[in-house]
Structure 1
Amino acid sequence: MQTNIRKICLFSLAIFFLMPAVLVLSGTIISRYELEQCLAPLTAGAGEFIAWKFFPRYPTFEHYGRILFYTPQFFVVFWNSMKIVVLVLAGQLLLAVPAAWAFAVYRFRFRNVLFTLYVVLMLMPFQVTMLSNYLVLDGLHLINTHGAIIFPAIFSTFPVFLIYRGFCALPESIIDAARVDGAGEWTIFWRIGLPLASNGILSAMVLGFLEYWNLMEQPLAFLEDKSLWPLSLYLPEISLDQAGYSFVASVITLIPPVFVFLIGQEYLERGIVASALKE
């Protein structure tokens, strides 16, 4: 009995949290005329409630056709987002993984102090470091380029911390045994460290994709040219009289994060669990 009640409660909560997504999906196939009727109280400011239709009387795909075939600027900002995310994640793989391995495996001077500094930097919000970032990027002549978004993100401390926790879960006896057998440090890192800590690395990549796909503050602060904006800044530019167009853009924006999350969900769960098992 309790199990059935629990399932009903979880199912009800799932429906509740899925309602915004269902609303957006239904808005993509509602005609412009019906949308004007549904959103009339909102546009008129009369204080009345919106009468929404989850399934329209006359479904249409005109909004999809408009954004996919007649809006080239949408694809510009879409590929801007893809470029930023892919380059950031590639850079983090090249820098964060070796850094995390060094913190987890090697004992060097000021190791704890340096790692504590990493944690402090990870906890600092963007508003605190925005001015210093701007001054550095301006000195490097990177303002109003994608490099202003990519390079600070590559040196983010969060993936180092998350991957470090995964490397810490590796038994030291395995590493010592490999050294006794004559394996070099690069061989140990490549053949033992990376495969055994792959869950932590992949979970950091999944979280990184979800974070950098939705960036808003950094592009607003460092990008003046709107043609360089990512997709996360394009949606607020859509006016209310283009509601159907906005719904379709929102759905297309959601597809890559949902796809990445579904593929990496298992690795994300394993990585988070493994990072919490051992200091």
Structure 2
Amino acid sequence: MKTLKLTIKTTGLFLLALVVWIPILMIVNGSFMGSDELSRNTGPILRDTAAMANWTLLPLYPTLKSYVELLFDSPGFFVMFWNSCFQVIPSLLGQLFTALPAAWAFARFDFKGKKLLFTLYILLMVLPFQVTMVSSYLVLFKLHLTDNPLAIILPNIFSAFPVFIMVKFFREIPKSLIEAAKLDGAGEGFIFFKIGIPLGSSGIISALLLDFLEYWNAVEQPLTFLTRKKSLWPLSLYLPAISAENAGIAFAASVIMMTPALLLFLYGQKYLEQGIAASGLKG
């Protein structure tokens, strides 16, 4: 009986995983299709014709044409790829200098107004971008930062989300360990760098991974703050311009764009699970 239940559970989980992976497999599959095959498969959707769309499990005639055109004949793709890197990487590095000390202070120090300030952090975290969009734009406009990469980088650096995640992990560090370090003459700086960061590394990594996934796929912020300079648009805005004529290139660009996020997800899956659990996003 137990074997039967285990088999049913395993089969059910496999089918659910297959459903999740089907869109990814279709994207990878489409990136190796020729233009004629893609036109037959996606034409009814992209051209809005009366024919029925269909999809094959594997390309009938696999080709690298889409990747060649994208990597050798589409300079705009590399510009937008660099824009994404230039906007995401500084944002994550900046969070190490802002979110880390803030989270440590909330987790380990008692000061006046601590609860109120942390409540404000949580409030800022749960507010969707649509609510703060106008006020954020006005602030950036007054600072002459619109249509500038800093319009994306600075708000990300001072995001409240990584602080909330890291606080959870810093609080789990045993107080007895910190007290023992103080008895041995360790200062606050030594405790933070030698005890806090190593023991809270899971929370730090999970926060950075979750933020990377969000920033790498950001659409609304670039569309709002980079309206006049499309040359600053990130790679996430390269994909919506899909049509029947450039479907192959769009599929290839999708594969390249999701590869860094997928690799980081697979590498840091354990940390992501811990971070999601700490943030209360489960269930």
TM-score interval, smaller chain = over 0.9
Is the counterpart of residue 161 in structure 1 residue 143 in structure 2?
A: no
1:12 Cα shift? 1.2
Deviations 1:240-264 (A, max 9, x none): 3211111001101110100111111
Counterparts of residues 137-148 of structure 1 (less than 5 Å)? 137-148=140-151
For structure 1, which segment, 213-222 or 125-134, has the greater mean C-alpha deviation from structure 2 after superposition? 125-134
Of 166, 181, 187, the residue aligned with 1:184 is 187
SS in 2 for 1:135: helix
Give the aligned length: 276
Listed as ranges, the gaps of 5+ residues in structure 2 are none
For structure 1, which segment, 54-63 or 103-112, has the greater mean C-alpha deviation from structure 2 after superposition? 54-63
CA–CA distance in structure 2, aligned partners of residues 109 and 43 of structure 1? 59
Q: What is the one-letter code of the residue matched to 1:215?
A: A
Q: What is the one-letter code of the residue matched to 1:143?
A: T
1:237 alignment partner in structure 2: 241
SS in 2 for 1:65: helix
Counterparts of residues 1-279 of structure 1 (less than 5 Å)? 1-223=4-226, 224-273=228-277
1:174 Cα shift? 1.3
1:272 Cα shift? 4.5
> Is the 8 Å Cα contact of residues 45 and 53 (structure 2) preserved in structure 1?
yes
SS in 2 for 1:101: helix
TM-score normalised to structure 2 length: 0.94
CA–CA distance in structure 1, aligned partners of residues 82 and 253 of structure 2? 14
CA–CA distance in structure 2, aligned partners of residues 273 and 53 of structure 1? 38
CA–CA distance in structure 2, aligned partners of residues 40 and 267 of structure 1? 41
Listed as ranges, the gaps of 5+ residues in structure 1 are none
Q: What is the one-letter code of the residue matched to 2:268?
A: G
For structure 1, which segment, 123-132 or 103-112, has the greater mean C-alpha deviation from structure 2 after superposition? 123-132
Change (3 A) 1:135 1:275: closer
Change (3 A) 1:32 1:4: same
> Is the 8 Å Cα contact of residues 140 and 151 (structure 2) preserved in structure 1?
yes
SS in 2 for 1:51: coil
For structure 1, which segment, 258-267 or 148-157, has the greater mean C-alpha deviation from structure 2 after superposition? 258-267
Deviations 1:73-120 (A, max 9, x none): 100000111111100000001100000000111100011111111111
CA–CA distance in structure 1, aligned partners of residues 68 and 88 of structure 2? 27
Change (3 A) 1:43 1:165: closer
> Is the 8 Å Cα contact of residues 43 and 244 (structure 2) preserved in structure 1?
no
> Is the 8 Å Cα contact of residues 165 and 278 (structure 2) preserved in structure 1?
no
Q: What is the one-letter code of the residue matched to 2:186?
A: A
> Is the 8 Å Cα contact of residues 46 and 243 (structure 2) preserved in structure 1?
no
CA–CA distance in structure 2, aligned partners of residues 63 and 204 of structure 1? 35
Change (3 A) 1:272 1:25: closer
Considering only aligned residues, what root-mean-square deviation do their CA atoms show, in Å?
Answer: 1.4
1:274 Cα shift? 6.2
1:46 Cα shift? 3.5
Q: What is the one-letter code of the residue matched to 2:123?
A: V
Q: What is the one-letter code of the residue matched to 2:252?
A: V
Change (3 A) 1:275 1:22: closer
SS in 1 for 2:245: helix
1:177 Cα shift? 1.6
SS in 1 for 2:179: helix
Change (3 A) 1:68 1:44: closer
CA–CA distance in structure 2, aligned partners of residues 44 and 240 of structure 1? 7
1:212 Cα shift? 0.4
CA–CA distance in structure 1, aligned partners of residues 161 and 275 of structure 2? 14
TM-score normalised to structure 1 length: 0.95
